[in-house]
Structure 1
Amino acid sequence: MKKPELLSPAGDFESLEAAVAFGADAVYLGGRMFSMRTSPRNFGEEELCRAVEFAHKNGVKIYLTCNTLPRNDEIDKLPRFFEVAKDAGVDALIVTDLGVIELAKKYAKGIELHASTQTGVVNYASANVLYSMGVKRVVLAREMSLREISVLREHTPRLLEIEAFVHGAMCVSFSGRCLLSNYLTGRDSNRGECAQPCRWSYALCESTRPGEYMPIYEDDQGTYILNSRDLCMIEHIPELVRAGITSFKIEGRAKSAYYVAVITNAYRMAIDRFMSEGEQYKFDKSLLDEVNKVSHRDYCTGFYFGPIEKGQIYKGAAYIRNWDIAAKIIGEKNGLAECLERNPFSPLDTFELLEPGKTGRPVKVRQIYDENGEKISRAVHPGMRVFLDLSEAPCKNGILRKIPSNL
């Protein structure tokens, strides 16, 4: 069995650094145009060059998204976009539109083409046609089961790579092809501007009784009839590998660097352990604890094992947020951990230290110092540089997070 690639998201440079530090083999990110995620900062031309240089220096690949459905007035901008991508040295372009594929082959020669999940590949016939067009990898529709993926793998060339989402938010529409946001808000979901109306709570209002709202019950728990759970396949690495998936993709370009670090780290450890232990592999439940320590919705296994059972959340659209990052460790100075504060904290709080390749473990903050070396009782300004006297030796790229008070 070939070791699968671990592919992580990055909406900004901090998330890119987190992905690289915590074990990603490749990172996908967006430019300022043609990206299905417009809410993150994304990467301008200079930032893209810097991102590729940083990733390649660390042995990590960069995949640039160009997966929107461009309109007529945007086509003339694509050649420049591709030339910038080629000059920056990106390793692949993630594309959806057939016309975009042809333009990419002309203006970005030598760069691999990956067919986005937006393409909606659910069978080997489509995968083979894309391969004949020069596509190196297909990102499968999220509606496919492991059995269907295995069949697709058996009927496609071995040189065609298969990528599939293994973790993160899911879309209630077919492979993200949705017009609900367009109808309700005027924001085009196929051009990265989805307002996520599938997460809203809906009610009926009878015309003669304005202001009197009647709930729509899909069951006795609520009215969030389109609100899907998040995908989590951390417990099923062996099944994913055996199905022939080349690349395990984590959703989350709009998520925080902390999310990217934690989820990348957990899947990195799970993949490495399975590939090392083989048939003796047993899932480490501490990794499931890890993926619960980020902001998320209730988890499920998507369509991998057939039609989803209990795939929706009826009680509301809010995320589960119990854990907070306190600080990011960026170095060491005179035995103290040099940190960037992310959320307020004090030595009276309880903490875990998360390092690449390890699960979180308890650590104490004995004292906090400001940039001038003065003792402070509490770090209260996110973004400020602080120095911490920890009960354990500091580790660059480590993350200090607060343990919830109810645990």
Structure 2
Amino acid sequence: MRRFFSALTLSTLTVVCALPALADNLILTADRMVDVESGEVINQAAVIVRDNKIVAAGKAASLALPSDARILALGDATLMPGLMDMHVHLTSDATRHGYKRLSVSLPRSTITGVKHARQTLMAGFTTVRNVGAPGFADVALRDAINAGDIPGPRMFVAGPSLGVTGGHCDNNLLPYEYNDTGEGVADGPWEVRKAVRRNIKYGATVIKFCATGGVLSKGTKVGAQQYTYEEMKALIDEAHLRGLTVATHAHGTSGIKTAIKAGVDSVEHVSLLDDEAIELALENGTYFSMDIYVTEYILNEGAKAGILEESLAKERTVGKTQRANFEKAVKAGVNMVFGSDAGVYPHGDNAKQFARMVKFGMTPMQAIQAATINAAGLLKQQDSLGSLRAGKYADIIAVAGNPLKDMSKMEQVSMVIKDGQLIYAPAM
């Protein structure tokens, strides 16, 4: 292992997904490091890792660097915490939408998820929140990653998304005689409580429900509220009783506000805001996860991927409005997290959203914080994830150059360490 690190060269990409956590001290050095808690950039930085934890991080000259440590010198690169995407669907294939998805079996989608998990990790996303998967395929994927069977990010998983009959989380493509109903369909306060209990029984660590219609669902209106306040309140209370956070798919204004009033932890998409919705989010500490890159993929590539014309028309209506409301929410100071909706567009391309977040109102530091310390806060994992601090898990990435001057560089991840394992590195 000592020879391995000393032999690394910057022109070589070394993939070592199966390595155990580093038993000896490892020192990472780079021209700069992002301190997401203070919002500052530290020049001539170093991070010390032992086992699967960070020992120290900061300006190299101020740290007591172990003399017997291995050193990985990254040069003109930026160290930062492993990235966290709060809205992915790892078992979904971006090339199969609409009726094409009817041909995909549950085993096939699970196997596809193995490929997507690796792509996501290689892109620097060491933690994801998987907000919806059929047949608890995401639970199986998470368990395989945790067992070391396959490479992938830390996963917080929802299992099947919950929704009303005929709503965005139901299966609406086939006619009546097929009797095709989404496995997460639950109507009425007691039925939604039962559905939450079932998801937890089979391994969910997050609950996801659909508060409004959606872009990619057949026959639903984007702005129309679906669950009532009483149903949302029962669902959220049941999840919170068991210690789980709750995410809601909500494009429409009424659904957004009702979900916030009912106590939801995060609202996804958040396309059709008004001032009251922003005030409610600020008052309740609600997080917004707004997928402002995906509209480009849907409108440019969606038709050949099978997205229905009905859905394309809906995206043409909401995409521009969502981006304007993203800027409005950022300016108001709403808690914002990074959520890409990868699965609608290709996994591994998650970081393309960073440049759009800056284009539509965030500073580069705010965009990075949304994908690190803010996301850790939403997951209630801020004591162990989300920043480069002593005692936290060694989830660390390096990005070529200085992304705070050019956010497209977030798409050029040159090193990934997850849980103390060197996933890949530029060699030195």
State the TM-score, normalized to the length of structure 2: 0.39
Q: Which has the higher contact order (CA 8 A, sep 6+)?
A: 2
Which is higher, the Rg of structure 1 or of structure 2?
1
